[in-house]
Amino acid sequence: MRILLIEDDPKMAAYLRDGLAQEGYETDHAADGRDGLLAAAAGGFGLLIIDRLLPTLDGLTLLRTLRGAGVHTPALFLTALGGLDDRLAGLRAGGDDYLVKPFALEELAARVAALIRRNAVPPKPTRLRIADLELDQLSRTAWRGGQKLDLKPRELELLEYLMLHENQVVTRTMLLEAVWEFHFAPQTSVVESHISRLRGKVDRGFSRALIQTCRGAGYRISADD
Amino acid sequence: MIERRAARLLSISGFRLALRSVGLSLAGAVLVFAIIYHASQATIRAALDQTVAGEIADIRSDVHDDHKPLTASVNDAVAEADGTFYALTGPNGALLAGNLTISPALARRWHGLATLHRHKDPALPRHVAAIRGRAVPLPGGQTLYVAENASALLALNRLIANSFLAVFGIILTLGLVGGYLAARASLRRVEAITATAGEIMRGDLSRRVPLSGRGDEFDRLALAQNEMLERIQALMENLRQVSSDIAHDLRAPLARLREHLELARRRHPGPELAAMFDEAIAQLDAALGIFAAVLRIAEIEAGARRASFAPVDLSALLEGLAETYEPVLAHNSQALSLDIAPGLQVRGDRELLTQMFVNVLDNAVQHAPGAAVALHARARAGGGADLILADRGPGIPAAQRARALQRFVRLDSARHSPGSGLGLALVAAVAGLHGGRVRLEDNAPGLAVHIWLPGL
């Protein structure tokens, strides 16, 4: 899977390419907006990572132009602009995700994986299944080993998000954004507390724990150990 | 509606000024008319009195010098009379000579000089409205009455009164209409300025006060305001520029430092080194977090977010947050009690309001471990919502409560717990952005964070 990185800072670009290579991705690099636009329009990429402040053509205009021309490659903005309206502007321009610098490589890797998979996998059935854990997205119900789980709406959303990203690491920030719509970091352990509750309901009493903690990165739901 | 309009008009200084000048003009008119009235009355009276005195002198000279009998003399005078009235009465009041009937009532009232009105004394001749004359007591109980037709005196009184009323009415009408128009014009200008100020406070810094082009005092005021707004906008843009410059230029090296640390950690996977790198990255993240919080507060205080305010279902938002924080509090051995009134609505920024409540809840989690927490939200009389998050923790001493809402203030008791000292400052900034207020109160024991937000 090839990723196009549009970033004018050579050090940042080298760091990103290095980090993404460790995750198994090949990257092409464009050092300004115009080159990036041309490369992205040529196609063949699974994901675009775009800086917002670029020479010759800013990131927002670049992506808006691409979207206008019918290029729907997933795009992630990676930018120092972290103001209240900046994220919204990025999403409005056609961005699929928005990550503010500085960031942890684990955070970027998790988001890149989620975006690429979202695009590659056909639409999910409405019934998610991992080992003996099942979740029906329409009736908002979940079962483990055939036993109905007593989940609160928020816990079900959390479980649903984890199951939609089966075998992928999802970070705390991704969960906060997707499940709680928090675009800031609370000072307390909101995610940890809810995961702990969810574990108590999903995994307690079963020999195999499906919800796993990836130290320093986030959580993952998987039937594998 | 009309009363409110009137009250609003009365509260305009221009209208009050107009009312005062109308009052002064009316007082002036009263004075002028009083002078005219007295002068004309005095002049006419003097002329009448002189004529009467002459007639009396004539009759006297007839009697004394020509030794004519008094009755004959009076009758002669009557014969020559033109608008003059004479009467000679005997001791019993009977008319001896003359063309004027003196009723007993009239005789009782008429001593010396007097003005008599027909509406009071119907016995006066038909064609006169009033007479003015003198009663002269004569030896032997007789009385001689000589009077002139004084109708002109009354006609003049009426004329003066009517003119006065007309002038009074015109001044009053013109004054009120003029004052109303002037007040309305100035009200319109003031409202234009107020509306502009409101839009600017809601975040549109590019607005300017419209000018009428007449160069009047309002235009001068508007010009000065517009210049001030120009300056404020320039400063705000400067601030925003500096902020985003800082965001880009100053955060960039810190971000790069973080990259280096991450790369180094990946390249040197010894457990001891990894722990050191993790600690260094955590410290750096804390510094970057403070930095982001400062920028966020500055951004909120700039007020530009007001432009995108929308109705927010506060009750639902709080219920959701309570559900979110219940496990966090439970994990911290804190019981949560809820009392959220349904249907609370405010106009605002959902994301910022969420962050505000999260900060308040975080504060309770961090500074009151093990203590019960209560969240109350109810409608406030007169609109808006009152929200109280009260804990049973150690609280904040009264003297330090106001300071706790300022930036970077970490009270001694909080020195060793996590946090940047910006949490409550952000709460105050968000409440301020929404036109609300935050107060820290004593929960005896514990802290009660009281937030008031205005309604839709």
Looking at chain B, which residue has its C-alpha nearest residue A195?
A: B327
C-alpha dist (Å) from residue B163 to B41, B125, B154, B167, B348: 16, 29, 14, 6, 63
Q: Based on the fold, state whether residues A15 and A113 are members of the same structural domain.
A: yes
Q: Using an 8 Å CB-CB cutoff, list chain B residues near A194.
A: 324, 327
Tokens of A96: 């699929």
User: Do residues A94 and A17 both lie within one domain?
Assistant: yes
Half-sphere exposure of B134 (CA within 13 A, CB side): 17
Last residue of a domain, one of B256, B275, B304: B304
Residues B322 and B437 in one domain: yes
Same domain, B281 and B380: no
What CATH number does the domain containing A45 carry? 3.40.50.2300
Q: Do A194 and B247 touch (CB under 8 A)?
A: no
Q: What is the CATH number of the domain that holds B381?
A: 3.30.565.10
User: Is there a single domain that holds both residue A112 and residue A136?
Assistant: no
Specify the pLDDT at position B2.
62
Q: Do A7 and A78 fall into the same domain?
A: yes
The pLDDT of residue A149 is 94
Domain stop point among A120, A154, A178 = A120
pLDDT score at B195: 87
- Closest of A176, A138, A184, A130 to residue A154, by C-alpha: A176
Q: What is the pLDDT of residue B270?
A: 83
pLDDT at B318: 95
Tens-digit pLDDT profile for residues B384-418: 899 999 999 988 888 888 778 776 666 665 555 55
Do A155 and A99 reside in the same domain of the chain?
A: no
Regarding whether B102 and B44 lie in a shared domain, the answer is yes
At residue A110's C-alpha, the angle toward residues A196 and A182, to 5°, is 60
The answer to whether A194 contacts B324, with C-beta atoms less than 8 Å apart, is yes
Question: What number is the average pLDDT over the span A97-110?
Answer: 90
Structural tokens at position B299: 């951004």
pLDDT of residue B418: 54
Identify whether B176 is part of a domain: no
Per the structure, the count of domains in chain A is 2
Lowest average pLDDT, out of A29-33, B247-251, B263-267, goes to: B247-251
User: Same domain for B234 and B361?
Assistant: no
- Cβ-based neighbour number of residue B120 at 10 Å: 11
Q: Residue B137: what pLDDT?
A: 85
The minimal CB distance from A193 to the residues B295, B327, B418 is found for B327
pLDDT tens-place string over residues B202-244: 667 778 888 888 888 888 888 898 898 899 888 877 876 676 5
Average pLDDT over residues B92-118: 81
Examine the pLDDT at B358 and tell me if it is beyond 90: yes
Task: Specify the pLDDT at position A63.
Answer: 95
Secondary structure (H, E, C), chain A:
CEEEEECCCHHHHHHHHHHHHHCCCEEEEECCHHHHHHHHHHCCCCEEEECCCCCCCCHHHHHHHHHHCCCCCCEEEEECCCCHHHHHHHHHCCCCEEEECCCCHHHHHHHHHHHHHHHHCCCCCCEEEECCEEEECCCCEEEECCEECCCCHHHHHHHHHHHHCCCCCEEHHHHHHHHCCCCCCCCCCHHHHHHHHHHHHHCCCCCCCCEEEECCCEEEECCCC
pLDDT band (50, 70, 90) for residue A150: very high
Q: Are residue A11 and residue A116 in the same domain, yes or no? A: yes
What's the residue count for chain A? 225
Which range is most confident: A20-24, B72-76, B116-120? A20-24
Domain boundary among A120, A150, A176: A120
> CA geometry: angle at B205 spanning B203 and B210, to 5°?
120
Q: Does A152 touch chain B (CB under 8 A)?
A: yes
The DSSP bridge partners found for residue A135 are A128, A142
- Domain limit, last residue, from B140, B155, B170: B155
Same domain, A132 and A94: no
Q: Are residues B327 and B372 in the same domain?
A: yes
Q: Which domain holds residue B88?
A: 15-155
On whether both B314 and B299 belong to a single domain, the answer is no
Do A81 and A185 have their domain in common?
A: no
Please answer yes or no on whether A102 and B258 come within 8 Å at the CB atom: yes
Q: How far is CA B124 from CA A106, B102, B121, B143, in A?
A: 121, 8, 6, 17
Residues B141 and B47 in one domain: yes
Q: Identify whether residues A114 and A137 lie together within a single domain.
A: no
Residue B86 pairs in a beta bridge with B146
Between A24-28, B78-82, B318-322, the lowest mean confidence (pLDDT) is in B78-82
Same domain, B73 and B129: yes
pLDDT tens per residue, range A170-183: 999 999 999 999 98
Which residues in B lie closer than 8 A to residue A183 (C-beta atoms)? 351
A215 in B contact zone (CB under 8 Å): no
**Shared domain check, A151 and A63:** no
Domain end marker among B116, B132, B155: B155
Q: Please report where in the chains the tokens 């724990």 appear, as a residue.
A: A209
Tell me: do B340 and B241 sit in the same domain. no
Average pLDDT over residues A85-111: 91
Q: How far apart are CA A15 and CA B260, in angstroms?
A: 8
Phi and psi (nearest 5°) for B90? -85, 180
Q: What is the mean pLDDT of chain A?
A: 91
Residues A141 and A90 in one domain: no
- Domain extent at residue A201: 127-221
Taking 80 as the threshold, does the pLDDT of residue A135 lie above it? yes
pLDDT in tens, A188-222: 899 999 999 999 999 998 888 999 999 878 999 99
- Does residue B319 share a domain with residue B292? no
**Contact B324/A15, CB-based, under 8 Å?**
no
pLDDT, tens digit (0-9, with 9 covering 90-100), for B80-89: 877 788 888 8
Specify the pLDDT at position B355.
93
Report how far residue A127's alpha carbon sits from residue A131's, in angstroms, rounded to the nearest whole number: 13
If asked whether residues A51 and A106 sit together in one domain, one would say yes
CA angle at residue B135 from B132 to B138, to 5 degrees?
Answer: 160
Q: In the prediction, which pLDDT does B414 show?
A: 56
Average pLDDT over residues A97-122: 87
Report the alpha-carbon distance of residue A84 to residue B305 in Å, rounded.
Answer: 8
The total number of structural domains in chain B stands at 3
Residue-averaged pLDDT of chain B = 84
Q: Are residues B337 and B290 in the same domain?
A: no
Query: Tell me, what CATH number does B36's domain have?
Result: 3.30.450
CA distances from A168 to A78, A107, A118, A175, B199 (A): 21, 12, 12, 13, 48
Q: What is the pLDDT of residues B330-357, one digit of tens each?
A: 999 999 999 999 999 999 999 999 999 9
